[in-house]
Amino acid sequence: EKPSVAVIATGSELLDVGDDLKPGEIRNSNGPMITALAKKHHLEVNAYKIQQDDLNSSIQVMREAMAEHDIVITTGGVSVGDFDYLPQIYEA
């Protein structure tokens, strides 16, 4: 059986590749790239929608992903910004 992979990009500043950018926003390039690489290696992939900078909902999504998948890959949310919650989420 193929391992299942969850790909979770976090950050309120992230937008999907086709969206118009405003100042302070960036494209979610890592999520689609990681998803494509996993699929290339014939893994089952669930690319979650971009998670906004909200601690409680991010914890909920992370717990769901960990319960449903063999591997969880996250991108973003590890800077020193006030709303970069991934270190706290990993501890929850």
Note the pLDDT tens digit of each residue in 8-27.
Answer: 998 888 999 889 999 988 89
- Positive or negative: CA dihedral 22, 47, 49, 77: negative
Note the pLDDT tens digit of each residue in 34-80.
Answer: 999 999 999 999 999 999 888 889 889 999 999 999 999 999 765 55
CB 66 within 8 A of CB 4: no
For the domain with range 4-91, which CATH number is right: 3.40.980.10, 3.40.50.300, 3.10.20.30, 2.60.40.10?
3.40.980.10
What lies within 8 Å, CB to CB, of 21 at 6+ separation is 15, 27
CB 42 within 8 A of CB 3: no
Which tokens go with 44? 């089952």
